[in-house]
A and B are shown apart, each in its own frame.
Chain A
Amino acid sequence: MLKLDKKDMRLFIIVALMTILAPFILNPFPEGSGLAQFNAGYPDLMQRFVIFGIFAIGFNILFGLTGYLSFGHAAFLGVGSYAAIWMMKLLTMNVIPAIIASVAIAGVFALVVGFISLRRSGIYFSILTLAFAQMSFAMAYSVLTPITGGETGLQPKVNDPRILDAALAPGATPSAGLFGLEMRDSYELALGNWLFTFNFGYYFAAALMLVAFYTSMRIFRSPFGMMLRGVKSNQQRLNYTGLNSKPYTLAAFVISGMYAGLAGGLLVAMDTQVGPERMFWTASGEVVLMTILGGAGTLIGPVLGAGFIKYMENIISKINESILHQWFYWLPDGLEDLVVGMIYPFIGKGWHLTLGIMFMLVVIFLPGGLVEGGQRIGRWVRGKGRKADATGDKKSTASTPAE
C-alpha cells in the first residue's frame, strides 16, 4: 500500500526510527559531564531539525529535481508563518487550522511568484525569486506593519478574539495545542545520569515530517518526478519534443512553496511568534546551503543538511570562552591561553566561520554532499573500495550530485 520499493522502504524505515528515537540519539552524553555541551536532544532544537528538514525537503523538490535555484524560498516560510499566527489569533490556538492555512496561503503565493518568475530560467529566475523575497521582507518590516507587526512581529495576545476557543482561565496565556495537548508538553525520562525529553510538539512535527518525506519520495519516483528530472537535464530538448514544461516546473514550484509554508506554520505551532527576518535573504540562502550541504537531488540529503546547519547554529554558537577554559584547564597556563586563543575564532559568534569552512570542504571533496560522504563510508565498509568508485554507484538512491 505504501508503494515503495525495497530500498526506499528501508530508507523510510530508517528515517522513521531516527525521528522517533531522536531524544535518545541526540542526547548521548550524560547531564553535567563536559560533553553535555554537545547534546542536542532538547525540544526546541529537535523541533527545528524536523521543521527545517521539511523546508529543505520541499526546496529539494524544486532545486534537486528541476535544477531551478530559487533564492527566495524563505518568503513562503514567512507567509506560512504569518498565515498560521493569524489563524491562531482569530480562530483557535489549535494548530490544525493554522497549519492548513499556512500551507494553502503559501501555495497561492507560490503560484503567483512562480507564474511570474518561471518565465525566465537560470540566474534570472534566481534573481526574480530573490527580488520577490526581499520585497516581502521589506513590506513585512514596514509598510504592512498593521498586518505583520513590523520589526516586533506578531504573538498571540490574551485579548485576541479566538472565536472558536473557550475563554482563557484568568492569568493564563494562550499556547498552541492540539485538542487539549499543548505543544510544549514534555515527558522527561531520567536514566542514571541521562535525561531524555519527549516533547509532544516534536513528535507532532516529526509525524508531519515523515508524511512530507514520504510524499517527496513518491514524487521522486513518479512519472511527474521523471519529467522534472528531464527539465533539469535538458529543458530545450524537452521543449523540442513538443512538451510544454512550464506546467511541470510551476507545479514543482508550488509544491515546494507549500512545503515551505508547512514549515512556517509548524514554526509558529512550536513557538508562537513571527518576525519578518524569517523572510530575509539570508534565510533563503540557508535552505540552499542545507540542500547542497546534504546532497541536492537526494532524498535524505536535505534533512541531513538542515540538521547539520541547525546543530552548528545552536550548539557551536553557544560555546564561549569560559567553557573553552574549562575544557583546557589541565594544560599549562601559557599553552592553555594559546589553545583557547586558536579555537576561539571558530566558536561562539564565529560559528559562521566554522560552517563556512565545513561547507567548502564538503563542496570541494564531497560534491554530492553529506550523502556522498555516507555512501563512500558505506562502500569502504563493505570493502568494495575503489572498484565501485570507478564504475560509479548508479544503483544508489542518491545518484544525482549537486549542480
Chain B
Amino acid sequence: MPGFKLDRRGLLKSGAVLGAGLAMPTIFTGRANAFTNEPTGSSVTLGFNVPQSGAYADEGADELRAYELAVEHLNGGGDGGMMNTFSSKALQGNGILGKKIEYVTGDTQTKSDTARASAKSMIEKDGAVMITGGSSSGVAVAVQALCQEAGVIFMAGLTHSNDTTGKDKKANGFRHFFNSYMSGAALAPVLERNYGSDRKAYHLTADYNWGYTTEEAIRSSTEALGWETVEAVKTPLAATDFSAYITPVLQSDADVLVLNHYGANMVNSLTNAVQFGLRDRMVNGKNFEIVVPLYSRLMAKGAGANVKGIFGSTNWHWSLTDDASKAFVQSFGTKYGFPPSQAAHTCYVQALLYADAVERAGSFNPCAVVEALEGYEFDGLGNGPTLYRAEDHQCFKDVLVVRGKENPTSEFDLLEIVEVTPVAQVTYAPDHPQFAGGQLGACNPGA
C-alpha cells in the first residue's frame, strides 16, 4: 500500500510522539481512593480463592462451604456460629462496618499462576478488598506476594509450609493455620513417649517445598530426642504408586517410617506401606511404626482402616469439646449435614478474624487492618487462647496430636485426639533458622 511509506521525517516525528508519550507518567495515575478497592457503596466484596479442581479439590470445596457459612453469620444470618463464642464482641452481625458482605469465588487449580490470575481478576475486576483461601503453600506464597503488591489483605487458608510466614512472609499476609515446625515440636514428645528415644527413622518426602520444610522440622525435632535418620528419600508429587519407594525401607534397618506426604500422596503411600506388611514387622526388637506429620480427616477417610493407630498432628478437629468448636460443628453440620474439616475451620476463623479486625480498626484500609491484627490476642475460636504474632503474622496456639481411631463409629469419626500440645511448646523465635531469610516489609495500602 503506497500510503504507508515511512521516511526519515516520519520516523523522527513518530519517534518524538512516542517519546513524549513515554515521558508523561502523569497520565497514568492510580485510583483516587485512599487504598486499593476502598468500598464506597453499601456492600464490601471479599475474594474466596480456593482449589475447586485438581488434587486438593475436596479441601477447596470444604473451604468454600466454610466461607459461605462465615458470610452468612457475619451478615446476621444463621445461628451466629463462633461469633457467639469469640472473645472480641466487635462484630454485630450487620456485615462489616455496616456494609453487607458479598463475595466472589475463583478456582486456583492448586497452581500458583492460575491462583494469581484468579486473585488478580478479583482485585481488578470485582474490587475485592481481601483475598483468602488456598490449599497449598506454593499457592499461598504466590497469592500473598500478589496481595502485598496490589495492596489488599491476604488471609491464608490451608498452608502448612514454614515459608509462608518464614522466608516468604509479607506484611499484608496472615496465617492462622499451624506449620511444619509446630508439627515437629508437637509430635516429638508423643513419639518419644510411645516409641522410645532410640529409633531409626526413614523419611519419604513429597518432592516440593512443603515436603522439604516438613522433613526438616520432623528431623530436627526427632533427632533432638536421640532418633537417628537413616535415609530421606524424595518422591515425585505426581506419584500414585509408592511400592518402589517402600521396598528399600524393608531392606534398611529403619524401624520408623515418616511419610511427609499430604492429600492423595499420603493416602497412596500409607496404603502401599501397609500392604507391604510394614506394620507387622519387627526391626531391632521393636515394632515397626509409621508416622504422618500432617493429618486431615479427609486424608484419613481416603486411607480407610490403614490409619488405625498412626500418629500425626492437626490444626483442629471437630471432636474438640470446647464451646467454640461445638458451636462451629453445630452450625456447619446443620447447614451441610456433616462435620467440618480443619481446612473449613481455619478458613472460617480467618474470615471472622478479618471482619473483626476491620470492625476494631474502623476502616478497611489494609494498614489499619494489619495494625489491628498484629499482636492481637483472642480466644473462643476453637484453639484456645491464640496470638497473632506481630513479627511474622503467624498464629500461635495449641496443636493437636491425633491418632487413627481403632474403632471408628462413623465415617467422620476417624481420628482421636491424643494430646493437646500447649502453645508454649510449639513457640519459636521469629529468627529461628527454619524461618530465617524473610522480611515482612511494610504494609501496602495500594493506591
Residues of chain A whose beta carbon lies under 8 Å from any beta carbon of chain B:
1-2, 4-6, 9, 39, 42-45, 48, 138, 141-142, 145, 150-153, 155, 157-159, 170-171, 173, 175, 178-182, 184-188, 197-198, 200, 271-273, 275, 277-278, 280, 313-314, 317-318, 320, 348-349, 351-352
For the A-B complex with A152-B161, A170-B442 known, give 12 more contacts whose Cβ atoms are closer than 8 Å: A2-B6, A44-B117, A48-B117, A151-B138, A151-B210, A173-B149, A184-B149, A185-B30, A271-B120, A313-B117, A314-B118, A348-B52
CB-CB contacts of B80-119 with A at 8 A, as 1s and 0s?
0000000000000000000000001111000111101110
Give the chain B neighbours of A314 by CB distance below 8 A.
117-118, 121
9 closest cross-chain pairs (CB), A and B:
A171-B442, A151-B208, A349-B52, A185-B28, A275-B112, A44-B120, A1-B6, A42-B124, A42-B125
Interface string of B419-447 (1 = CB under 8 A from A): 00000000000000000000101101000
Task: Please tell me if the beta carbons of B4 and A186 are within 8 angstroms of each other in the complex.
Answer: no
* 18 sampled A-B residue pairs with Cβ under 8 A: A1-B5, A5-B1, A42-B121, A45-B121, A141-B208, A150-B208, A151-B137, A153-B142, A171-B441, A173-B148, A180-B25, A273-B113, A275-B113, A275-B138, A277-B113, A318-B106, A349-B57, A352-B53
A65: min CB distance to chain B, Å: 24
* B21 CB, nearest partner CB in chain A, Å: 9
A2 to chain B: which residues have CB within 8 Å? 1, 4, 6
Q: How far is the CA of A212 from the CA of B138 in the complex (A)?
A: 33
Q: Any chain A CB within 8 A of the CB of B168? A: yes
Question: Judging by beta carbons under 8 Å apart, are A317 and B106 in contact?
Answer: yes
Q: Is the CB of B444 within 8 A of A188?
A: no
Shortest CB–CB separation between residue A218 and chain B, in angstroms? 14
Partner of A152, one of B57, B106, B107, B209: B209
Interface pair A9/B149, CB less than 8 Å apart: no
- Report the bound CA distance from A178 to B25 in whole Å: 10
Instruction: List A contacts of B31 (CB < 8 A).
Output: 188
Please tell me which one of the listed residues B6, B52, B112 contacts residue A277 in the complex, with CB atoms under 8 A apart: B112
A219 to chain B, nearest CB (A): 19
For B137, list chain A residues within 8 Å (CB). 151-152
Task: List the interface of chain B (C-beta within 8 A of A).
Answer: 1, 4-6, 22, 25, 27-31, 52-53, 57, 104-107, 111-114, 116-118, 120-121, 124-125, 136-138, 141-142, 145-146, 148-150, 161, 163, 168, 207-210, 212, 234, 236-237, 439, 441-442, 444
Across the interface, do A186 and B1 meet the contact criterion of CB distance under 8 Å? no
Give Cα A31–Cα B107 distance, bound, in whole angstroms. Answer: 23
**Residue from the set A152, A158, A170 with the largest chain B CB neighbour count within 10 Å:** A152
* Residue from the list A4, A153, A158, A182 in contact with B439, Cβ < 8 A: A158
**Identity of the chain A residue whose Cβ is nearest the Cβ of B119 in the assembled complex:** A44
Pick from A145, A153, A180, A186: contact of B112, CB under 8 Å: A153
CA distance A170 to B125 in the complex (A): 30
Chain B min CB distance to A70 (Å): 20
What residue of chain A has the Cβ atom nearest to residue B208's Cβ? A151
- Residues of A contacting B150 in the complex (Cβ-Cβ under 8 angstroms): 184
Q: How far is the CB of A294 from chain B (nearest CB, A)?
A: 20
| Residues of B with C-beta under 8 A to A198 | 28
Q: Which residue of A lies closest to B31 (CB)?
A: A188
Give the Cβ gap from A253 to chain B, nearest Cβ, in Å. 25
Question: Contact between A318 and B28 (Cβ–Cβ < 8 Å)?
Answer: no
Cross-chain contact B28 with A187 (CB below 8 angstroms): yes
What separation, in Å, do the CA atoms of A48 and B4 have in the docked complex? Answer: 30
Q: Which of B31, B52, B145 is most buried by chain A, counting CB atoms within 10 A of its CB?
A: B145
Chain B residues whose C-beta falls within 8 Å of the C-beta of A175 in the assembled complex: 149
Chain A residues lying within 8 Å of B138, measured Cβ to Cβ, are 151-153, 275
Chain B residues, CB < 8 A from A1? 4-6
A184 to B114 Cα, complex, angstroms: 18
Is A349 touching B53 in the complex (CB atoms < 8 A)?
yes
The answer for the CA separation of A241 and B53 in the assembled complex, in Å, is 52
Distance in Å: Cβ of A139 to nearest Cβ of chain B: 11
Report A-chain residues with C-beta under 8 Å of the C-beta of B212.
145, 150
Please name the residue on chain B nearest to A188 by beta carbon.
B31
A273 touches B442 (CB 8 A): no
> Residues of B contacting A43 with CB < 8 Å?
120, 124
Given A275-B113, A349-B52, the answer on whether A179 and B22 have CB atoms closer than 8 Å is: yes
> Which residue of the partner chain A has the closest CB to B18?
A207
Given A155-B145, A318-B121, A9:B1 Cβ within 8 A: yes
Complex-state Cα separation, A42 to B53, whole angstroms: 24
Please state if B105 and A320 are interface contacts (CB–CB under 8 Å): yes
Assembly CA distance A368 to B105 (angstroms)? 35
Instruction: Say which residue of B6, B118, B124 sits within 8 Å of A318 (CB atoms).
Output: B118
Q: Which residue of A lies closest to B440 (CB)?
A: A158
Please indicate the chain A residues that have their CB under 8 angstroms from the CB of B234 in the complex.
Answer: 142
Q: Is A273 in contact with B145, judged by CB distance below 8 angstroms? A: yes
Closest to B54 in A: A349
A152 and B163 contact, Cβ closer than 8 Å, known pairs A173-B441, A271-B146, A318-B104: yes
Contact A278 B113 (CB under 8 A): yes
Chain B residue nearest to A45 (CB atoms) is B121
Complex CA–CA separation, A352 to B163 (angstroms): 32
CB neighbours of B114 from chain A (8 A): 277, 313
The answer on a CB contact under 8 Å between A317 and B107 is yes
Q: Which residues of the other chain, A, contact B107 by a CB distance below 8 angstroms?
A: 317-318, 348-349, 351
CB-defined contacts of B208 to chain A, threshold 8 Å: 141-142, 150-151
Cα of A317 to Cα of B114 in the assembled complex, Å: 11
Nearest opposing residue in chain B for A197, CB measure:
B124
- Whether A141 pairs with B116 at a CB distance below 8 angstroms is no
Complex CA gap A170/B207 in Å reads 36
Across-interface contacts of A181 in B (CB, < 8 A): 22, 25, 28
Tell me which residues across on chain A come within 8 A of B53, comparing CB atoms.
Answer: 349, 352
Q: Which residues on A sit within 8 Å (CB–CB) of B29?
A: 185, 187
> Assuming A44-B120, A187-B28, is B210 touching A348 (CB within 8 A)?
no
Q: Bound complex: CA of A275 vs CA of B114, how far in Å?
A: 10
CA distance A188 to B37 in the complex (A): 13
Chain A CB count within 10 A is highest, among B118, B121, B125, for: B125
Chain B residues lying within 8 Å of A318, measured Cβ to Cβ, are 104-107, 118, 121
For B111, the closest partner residue in chain A by CB is: A277
Q: Which residue of B lies closest to A267 (CB)?
A: B113
Residues in chain B near residue A158, CB distance under 8 A: 439, 441
CA–CA, A1 to B10, complex, Å? 11
Chain B's closest residue to A150 (CB) is: B209
**Which interface residue of B118, B120, B150, B234 has the most chain A CB atoms within 10 A?**
B120
B27 touches A187 (CB 8 A): yes
Q: How far is the CB of B10 from chain A (nearest CB, A)?
A: 9
- Pair A186/B142 contact, Cβ less than 8 Å: no
Cα A318 to Cα B146 in complex, Å, equals 19
